Each structure stands twice: as C-alpha cells, then as structure tokens.
Chain A
Amino acid sequence: MGKEMLTGNSAAAWGVRLAEVDYIPAYPITPQTEIIETIAKWISDGSMDASFVTMDSEHSMITAAGAASATGARTFTTTSSQGLLYGFEMIYTVAGWRVPLVMVNVSRGLSSPITLGPDHNDILAVRDSGFLQIHCETCQEVLDSVLMAYRLAEDERVLLPVMVNMDGFYLSFTREAVEIPDVEKVRSFLPEYRPEHAFFKAARPMAQGVAVLGGDYYSYFKYQMHLASQNALEIYKEVCDDFERIFGRKYEVIDEYMMEDAEYILVMTNSFSTLGKAAVKRAREDGVKAGLLRPRFLRPFPESEIKNALKGKKAVAVIDQNISVGKGGIIYSEMAGCLYNEIDRPLLLSFIGGLGGKNISQKEFEFIFEKMISASDTGIVEPPSLLYTESELEGITKLKEIAGKE
C-alpha cells in the first residue's frame, strides 16, 4: 500500500486491522484513545470486520479480552497508564489462562502527581505478569510489532499474551512515514488463527483459572509460564526471519546501533532511543567510540544476546525511563543481574532520565559519556543519578514559591 504519514496510534490500529482481529473490547484513556477511535470508525464504515464493545472499565475490558481470546477469537485491546493499573488484577489472571491476546500499552507516567507525559513505570509494573513485552522505537515498529505479536502469542510453544509498548506523545501522536503492509502479504505471514484447543465454548462449559489450592500444582503452572516465555525468544527469531522474507524489514530481540567497535554503550528502550542514537552519532564525531543497545523485549529478557553484545565493552550506561521508588532504575537492576556472572563484563552505570516525558538533552547525554569515560579510567563507578539540570531545579523552585512552599 506504500508509505503514509501515520501516528503511532494509527499505526497500531493498522496493525490490528491487517491482523484481521475478530474482537476488540475497549475503554478510552489518553494518550491511547485514538487507537480505539480509529478502529471504531473503520468498523462503523465497513472497512474492518470485527466486533467492537465499549466496556465499563479496564478491569472488565481485560477480562472480556481474555475470555474472548480463550474461545479462539483473535482479540485485541489497548490501554495506558492508570488504565493498565485499573486492569492489573486481570492482567495476571488472563496471562495465567495462557490466551494469545495482544494488547497495546501507550506508556504514560503514573500518578501522583498526575501527568500525561510518557515513562515506563506503567508497563514495567506488569513486568512479572506473564505477558511478553515488546517495546517500540518508531511508528513503523509499532505496526510491525502488532503483527509479529500475534504470530508469537498464537504459537503453541508460547501461548502467552503479548503487550506491545509505545510512548505516549513521542509516538502515539507523532506522525512519521510508515509503510502499510499489503493485506495479502500479511495473510501469508499471519494466517487465520485456528487454535488446536479452542477450549472455551458455550457448548462445553468450563472454568478458567481454577483454584489449585496447593503449592506443588501452583508452582508447576507458574514455572510453565516462565518456560513458555523463554521459548518465545527462539520462536521470535523464526517470526523475524519470516517477517524479513515477506516484508523486507529486519527486527531482532535487541537493536544494536554502532555497536561493532563501540567501547561506551548506552542502554535505552522505546522512542527516546532515537535521541540516544543521535547522541551516539555526535559522540562519534568527537572521537568517542559510542554505541547504543536497545532491548526490544523486556519479557522475556534477552540475556544471552545482551551478554554477547556487551562482551569486552569498557562501560555501559543504562538510562532508565522509570523509577522503582526505593531502588532506582528497573532496567539497570535487570542488566546488573544479567551481567553479574560474566568474567569480561563492562562497568555498569545507572541514570534515570525522561521521567514523565522530560526531555533528555544533548548535554545530558554528553554528561553520561563523560561519566562512562571517567569510570573506565579510574575504575570508580559513581552512584546512580537522576538527569536533572540546574534550570529545571530553578523552575520547580519557582513553582513551589507560587504555591507558598519554601
């Protein structure tokens, strides 16, 4: 169909349309609303054939999506931020049902204070639920990832729900040129979902997620989910190969930018990685051997790929666009856990940046590279720090003065 200017939200909607989804339970929340608006419009004007139901809350929405998925219907739903938290209970529940539901989360910082700007505390809050997580940098990647997510979720060796994540505003409302795949090609990549055990039928009543009342049973089911999730890494490679063969675009579990001879590496996820890549390019112009590694999956966590990519590097700075209050950056902890037993491991630095969509400026990237270089010269790694500038502190000080807080 060629290239079109699409927002991340409409790219997601196109992914859903091309995947020929059967059922979409929906509940709006900024900055996700445009996805369901677009789908609703297509269904009403006949350009998409699916059932669309507006629900009373995200809790019901995720329940309905899980139940429909269990009947064998290809199901999609989407939310953001506080909405995801409202449905949190059912996120764990439907993951335990082992249903191949695909859900787009449009990242937005969590309350309080309230904000609409993006960070990843919402999606990372459900990190351990059993949903696989694909994190996207561009609008194109959002569309492509929705298609790949169904392939992955519906694979018998996986059968776990998948979340595709995009940043609010920085992708959701940002338009850039996106290639809309041809519908016939999509059909050859993603055939109709024909579950071998579409078990949830009106004719055959049964209960989902029954009580097992025993640790030995419970352990078994939970660990099975873990193994299925780990399978997904290998299967994803097959999915990517197929995708590249049919559509010509190549994806991997990690995205490596100028990594080959790099010594100082940024680790970032999602749309702010574009800014990181620009910073890497500039650092290269200044003679710093910079590179960037972007995990596209956070669950399953691509441990061996990350270990390989970082072997022998001097220093790695993880920029977490999230904060685990009382601990620090979540991905930093994941990276440290991943690299701990490696003999030839790089120094690992931690920065928290871009919370609530706060910009990460070129100066802040330069600051990070300086810290990496000095750490590798001295062997001393400074404690984690928040990327926050003097002028930003002046701004909040002024705001507090207005509120009578001194």
Chain B
Amino acid sequence: MLRLRFHGRGGQGAKVASRVLGTAAFLDGYNAQDFPLYGAERRGAPITAFTRISRDDIMERGLVSDPDIVIVMDETLLSDPQAMPLSGLKKGGIVFVNTPLSPLETKEEYGIEDHVITLDITKVSLDMIGKSVLSSLAAGVASRIAGIGEEALKGALEKELSGIISDRDLLGKNTEAALYCYNTLVPVQVKTAETIREKENVITLPFETARVSSPAINATGNTPLRRTGNWRVFRPVWNYDICTRCMTCVSRCPEGCIRLNEDGYPYADYDNCKGCLVCAEECPVKAITKVREIHSRSEEGDQ
C-alpha cells in the first residue's frame, strides 16, 4: 500500500489534490481512500490531506502517520513546528517540495536526508493558470510519484474539478498545468519497507487535580508568538515616491497590520501580513506593488 500525505495551507488546494489523486487511483483500478484533516482552520493555516492506494483491501482509517510519499505544497511548512511534514516518513520515502530550489539545495536548506524531488509549482501555476492555486498541480506531481497512469489522472481532474470550477477555460488550464507537472517529473520507484513500530506502553493514567487537568490550555498554535508572515505568495511593497500618505491602505487592511512611520508613511508588519493585497487593490495612486515571496531560511532575517 502507498500512503501519501499532502501538506499545504488552507486555500492552496491540498484537500482537492488528495481527492484528485484518490479518484485517479480509483480510475486506475486500485482501491483508494482519501481524507482531509481540517476543522476550525481558515485560509493560510497548515492543512493536511491523505491518500491511500492499494491493490488489497484498505484496512486503515484516519490520518497517515507513516507516509511513503510526502507532498509539501508550501515549503515554509518544513520549518513549522506544528505542521512537521516529514514526521513519520518511512525509510526510502519520497519528499516532494514546491520550491524554486534544486533538490540538493532543498536538502541542505531544510536538512532533509530523504529522497527529495522539487518543482516550483507556484511558478507553474502563476504562468499557466494566472494565480497561485496548486490543487491540480500537486495532484499531477503526486500521481507521477505514485505511479498512476496519465489517462487516469486526466479523468480524475475532469471529474473532481468540474464540480468546483464552472469555467471550462480555467478547467482546461488546470488540466494542462497538472499534466505539465506530471510530465516534467521523471518517474520514480517508491521502495519503502513497512515501518517497525516502536514499543508503546499502555499506562495507567494518574489522577491530577482540576487545577492542572482542566481544559483551559493554550495550544502552541494559538500563541501570539506564532507568526503568519510565511503564509504569503506575494508581499506588498510601498513606493514612497508616489505615496501621498492618504492612509487608505492603513484603514483597509483587514488584519490591522499596516502602521505609519515617523514621517507618516505606511509600512507593513510582515510578521502578521497574510499577503491578501487589499492594500494594493485599494491604493488610489498605485504606490503599492506585489512582489513574489521566495521563502527560504537565508531570507528569514529579511522578514
């Protein structure tokens, strides 16, 4: 059985990617199961989705904790302490990373020892679809790595996307981009051994007073220290030569993260800016441009 885990951010299309792959495997004659894990999350938050593909009956349910293949749709997730895309990856497993970096650079950048495959699918999406929506592209990548046939992938894209995209032209572009990704990657053999599970002791849970055992606990995901600056595809950048200091951007920012400097010019708190670019849209003199965000550790100091 092949177990895949997709890591993306809410809105990027991890759920749809896992569905397209599930359907592609199903159309290719396999038993398949796919499953997204989300609930209260919103756009930009780390999301996971899973697909299981097997010739035999699938006697598993729920999240995949020991994947053969990990698809990382947003490379900033690799350094996210909560998302942990590589956790449980089997020996011999494959990591796909959406990045402009080469596999070797990616391995060095993020300290990955497993087999890494890379492709800048965000760029492919911007070039071929015109926006950064990665579901069909990630499905194309995953289908190639999982060894699913091209016809099955095509069929699955049609089936899954026609329900959510009514524009035939856009649907065509998605299919084209997915097939481009599929054909750009060199086929690989996934050779993983079944994981040997470490001994887990079932224990007697000790009694603890309500003072320590009541559910008023802040999860690490909710602390103010958790920055969201790495959610962006584009960042807003101000040209102070044109800016009239009208403050429109300040008042329109839905996150309230644009402030004024001593001279009255606006600047963004990039730790909390999610890159929605409402500011650029609203700027009456077009003083704000969008700059593609290339995330890598070497640039972290810049954020």
Query: Does B32 sit within 8 A of A, measured CB to CB?
Result: yes
**Structural contact, A5 and B200, CB atoms closer than 8 A:** no
Main secondary structure of the interface of A (DSSP, over half): mixed
**Structural contact, A174 and B33, CB atoms closer than 8 A:** yes
**Structural contact, A176 and B58, CB atoms closer than 8 A:** yes
Known: A30-B40, A389-B203. 12 other contacts (CB 8 A): A169-B35, A169-B62, A174-B35, A176-B32, A177-B31, A274-B60, A275-B59, A363-B200, A390-B203, A402-B217, A403-B217, A406-B212
Query: Does B175 sit within 8 A of A, measured CB to CB?
Result: no
Set A112, A277, A359: member contacting B62, Cβ < 8 A: A359
**Structural contact, A390 and B200, CB atoms closer than 8 A:** yes
In the complex, how many residues of chain B place their beta carbon closer than 8 angstroms to a beta carbon of chain A?
Answer: 37
Query: Does A362 sit within 8 A of B, measured CB to CB?
Result: yes
The interface of chain A, by Cβ under 8 A from chain B, is 5, 30-31, 112-113, 116, 169-170, 173-177, 271-272, 274-275, 277-278, 281, 357, 359, 361-364, 367, 385-391, 393, 399-400, 402-403, 405-406
**Structural contact, A388 and B216, CB atoms closer than 8 A:** no
Contact A274-B211, Cβ < 8 Å, known A175-B22, A176-B32: no
Q: Looking at the assembled complex, report how far the CB atom of A169 sits from the nearest CB atom of chain B, in whole angstroms.
A: 7
Contacting residues, chain B, for A272 (C-beta < 8 A): 61
Query: Does B301 sit within 8 A of A, measured CB to CB?
Result: no
Query: Does B205 sit within 8 A of A, measured CB to CB?
Result: yes
CA A117 to CA B177, docked complex, whole Å: 35
Query: Does B135 sit within 8 A of A, measured CB to CB?
Result: no
**Structural contact, A170 and B22, CB atoms closer than 8 A:** no
Q: Nearest chain-A residue to B65 (Cβ)?
A: A359
Set B34, B59, B205, B223: member contacting A175, Cβ < 8 A: B34
**Structural contact, A174 and B34, CB atoms closer than 8 A:** yes
Q: Nearest chain-A residue to B23 (Cβ)?
A: A5
**Structural contact, A173 and B35, CB atoms closer than 8 A:** yes
Query: Does B197 sit within 8 A of A, measured CB to CB?
Result: yes
Q: Nearest chain-B residue to A113 (Cβ)?
A: B215
CA A2 to CA B181, docked complex, whole Å: 31
**Structural contact, A403 and B202, CB atoms closer than 8 A:** no
Set B36, B65, B197, B223: member contacting A363, Cβ < 8 A: B197
Contacting residues, chain A, for B201 (C-beta < 8 A): 389-390
Contacting residues, chain B, for A176 (C-beta < 8 A): 32-33, 58
Set A174, A274, A400: member contacting B59, Cβ < 8 A: A274
Q: Looking at the assembled complex, report how far the CB atom of A285 sits from the nearest CB atom of chain B, in whole angstroms.
A: 13
List which B38-64 residues lie within 8 A (CB) of chain A: 39-40, 58-63
Contacting residues, chain B, for A389 (C-beta < 8 A): 200-203
Q: Nearest chain-A residue to B37 (Cβ)?
A: A169
Contacting residues, chain B, for A177 (C-beta < 8 A): 26, 31-32
**Structural contact, A399 and B200, CB atoms closer than 8 A:** no
CA A399 to CA B216, docked complex, whole Å: 11
**Structural contact, B218 and A367, CB atoms closer than 8 A:** no
Main secondary structure of the interface of B (DSSP, over half): loop
Contacting residues, chain B, for A390 (C-beta < 8 A): 200-201, 203
Set B59, B200, B216, B220: member contacting A364, Cβ < 8 A: B200
Among A169, A362, A385, A399, residue most surrounded by chain B Cβ atoms (within 10 Å): A169
Contact A367-B217, Cβ < 8 Å, known A278-B59, A400-B212: no
**Structural contact, A405 and B211, CB atoms closer than 8 A:** yes
Contacting residues, chain B, for A402 (C-beta < 8 A): 217-218, 220, 223
Q: Looking at the assembled complex, report how far the CB atom of B199 sits from the nearest CB atom of chain A, in whole angstroms.
A: 7
CA A169 to CA B62, docked complex, whole Å: 7
**Structural contact, B62 and A170, CB atoms closer than 8 A:** yes
What are 8 A-B interface contacts by the 8 Å CB criterion?
A5-B19, A174-B35, A174-B61, A275-B60, A281-B59, A386-B205, A390-B200, A400-B212
Contacting residues, chain B, for A31 (C-beta < 8 A): 39
Query: Does B219 sit within 8 A of A, measured CB to CB?
Result: yes
Set B19, B31, B200, B215: member contacting A391, Cβ < 8 A: B200
Query: Does B189 sit within 8 A of A, measured CB to CB?
Result: no
Contact A274-B61, Cβ < 8 Å, known A362-B197, A402-B218, A403-B216: yes
CA A359 to CA B22, docked complex, whole Å: 22
Contacting residues, chain A, for B35 (C-beta < 8 A): 169-170, 173-175
CA A385 to CA B200, docked complex, whole Å: 15
Q: Looking at the assembled complex, report how far the CB atom of A44 sits from the nearest CB atom of chain B, in whole angstroms.
A: 14
Contacting residues, chain A, for B58 (C-beta < 8 A): 176
Among B202, B211, B215, residue most surrounded by chain A Cβ atoms (within 10 Å): B202
CA A403 to CA B221, docked complex, whole Å: 12
Q: Looking at the assembled complex, report how far the CB atom of B149 sits from the nearest CB atom of chain A, in whole angstroms.
A: 17
Contact A388-B62, Cβ < 8 Å, known A116-B40, A174-B34, A399-B219: no
Contact A275-B212, Cβ < 8 Å, known A174-B33, A385-B202: no
Q: Looking at the assembled complex, report how far the CB atom of B293 sits from the nearest CB atom of chain A, in whole angstroms.
A: 29
**Structural contact, B60 and A278, CB atoms closer than 8 A:** yes
CA A325 to CA B57, docked complex, whole Å: 37
CA A403 to CA B218, docked complex, whole Å: 6
**Structural contact, B200 and A361, CB atoms closer than 8 A:** yes
Q: Looking at the assembled complex, report how far the CB atom of A362 sits from the nearest CB atom of chain B, in whole angstroms.
A: 6
Closest 6 CB pairs of A and B: A113-B215, A116-B39, A278-B59, A363-B200, A389-B200, A174-B35
